[in-house]
Structure 1
Amino acid sequence: MNGSRRIRVLSWLGAAVLLCGLAASPALLAGNVLRDADRQAEVAQPLVYRPETPFDAQQAAQAMAPGSATIRGVVFHRLDRFGNYALLPPNPVRTMEGIDVFLYPATPHMVEFMKLLDKHVYRKLRMPIVPQNRRPKQVLFDDAALDYRKVVKSDQYGRYTFSDLKPGRYIVYSAAYVTSNFNVSVPVGSSEVSYGIYGTDSVTHYGLEERTRRTDIEYRNYIDIKSDGQVVEVESLFKPVY
């Protein structure tokens, strides 16, 4: 009788422990999910970098004073039909119409901005593997620089022109994206082929699947004007941004 009672007591205690565990598990699970959500939110927040050199509006205004020089250029890319960058033939040159092209004076503030882009944003060729779950990075310049830029739009042949410039160094920048549509071969099923007394073999069947890929591309470079009246010609080859 006592043994039976002890078994019932132990069974009751075990059930109580189990119920407590079940009651506590949602809270524990919620804590884990919340921590995961916090980590994801932290990873999604970009790291922002800004030039330490202050923007000098007077210097920028002097650099953008009217002159008689001109920059003539053409915007184009060499992406293949899969959205990959290919410099060598047979991949053709593709000019781009209606692209906004920006010109900034190469003040110390903007030069540091360009250096920060190279350091923090753009993937180096010697490091082709991008770590997963890496926080995005942004490089921002002073908004006041927007008041001292020029903007033009490329024509139907991809050409653009900046006129009335004085001698000095400038930054030409533009960004766009290319959408590529292509088909890839994917497995859609399999079947067995019988060879009689020699056995059977499995054959995989393939079909075509349409894919769409967006490739962000950009051009940025320093352009030097050495004398009044000079016409500088530029071929602005857009490259993918990784």
Structure 2
Amino acid sequence: MFSFTAVNAQKYVEPEKAVKDEQKRKASEVVTFPTRKFDSIEAKKALAMGKGKITGTAFTRTKNGYGMKVGKKVLANKITIQLFPVTPYFEEYYALWKDKSKNNPKKNRFVYMDKDAYRYRLDAVTNSSGEFTFPDMKPGKYYLWGSLDYSLSYNYNQYTGSGYNGYGGRIDYYSPSSYSKGYNEFLELFVEVKSDGEVVEVKLK
């Protein structure tokens, strides 16, 4: 006969496999930040109000079988366009972000911007025609980007079965069917307002 004294035993709950896989992925991430210190005063001055304007249309085109954007125009309906001042900090960040040895999600490598640097930006929302405007811009260089999600529908004949005629010949039967496929396009552009009061028209694609 055994006797036990009640104690607060430690209990470990095994996480689900999906949680464990995500923890493993996070642990193996290689993250790079710009080495230059972010200058908030510089960024604030770059975003000070002016008399100029950046206006344009955001869109993409569907791709052909070779990956070339030569198909129909897809307008960026109600998406957010972000504008960053091109400061020395941003230039370093962008160079790192374009470097596939530093920024490659397939290899779990990422380049991040300082959270304070991300705050110093302007946002604009497109209308249903993809049009957007950044008013009150002072002379300077800026970077615009947006993410455009869209889907396309495709029609095809779906095989439904086969039959045989009185002569032993096989007949295949098909019925019209369709499916949708989602796409994502990254839109980006560098813009310069050269003089106070200038209206710069752009195509963000």
TM range (shorter): 0.7 to 0.9
Deviates more, 1:187-196 or 1:177-186: 187-196
Counterpart amino acid of 2:141? R
Among all aligned residue pairs of Structure 1 and Structure 2, give the percentage whose two residues are the same amino acid.
25
Of 156, 159, 184, 1:184 maps to 156
1:182-234 Cα deviation digits (max 9, x unpaired): 233444444567867xxx6x665444443222211121121111111111110
| Aligned residue in 2 for 1:222 | 190
Instruction: Name the CA shift for 1:209/1:115 in 2 (closer, same or farther; >3 Å).
Output: farther
Contact 1:190 1:205 survives alignment (8 Å): yes
Structure 2 contact 76–148 (Cα < 8 Å) conserved: no
Q: 1 or 2, which has the higher strand percentage?
A: 2
Q: CA–CA distance in 2 between the matches of 1:185 and 1:38?
A: 42
Does structure 2 conserve the Cα–Cα contact (< 8 Å) formed by 1:102 and 1:149? yes
Q: Which runs of 5+ in 2 are unaligned?
A: 1-16
Q: Taking structure 1 as the reference length, what is the TM-score of the superposition?
A: 0.63
2:119 counterpart (131, 139, 147): 147
Query: How far apart are the structure 2 equivalents of 1:113 and 1:212?
Result: 36
Q: Which amino acid aligns with 1:182?
A: Y
Q: Is contact 2:84-2:122 (8 Å) kept?
A: yes
Q: Distance in 2 between matches of 1:135 and 1:85?
A: 23
Which string of whole-angstrom CA distances, capped at 9 and with x for unpartnered residues, describes residues 100-119 of structure 1? 11111011222222222322
Unaligned runs of 5+ in 1: 1-33, 124-133, 238-242
Determine helix, strand or coil for the equivalent of 2:37: coil
Decide which structure has greater helix share. 1
Correspondence for 1:171 among 120, 143, 149: 143
Question: Are 1:94 and 2:74 matched, yes or no?
Answer: yes
Give the paired residue count: 185
Asked whether the 8 Å contact 1:70–1:229 carries over to 2, the reply is yes
**Match of 2:98?**
118
- For 2:126, the aligned partner's letter is S
The residue matched to 1:223 in structure 2 has which SS? Answer: strand
Residue of structure 1 in register with 2:42 after alignment = 59
Mean CA deviation greater in 206-215 or 149-158: 206-215
Aligned to 2:51: 68
* Deviation (angstroms), 1:144: 0.5
Stretch moving more, 56-65 or 43-52: 43-52
d(CA) in 2 for partners of 1:55 and 1:135?
A: 27
Aligned-partner SS, 2:42: helix
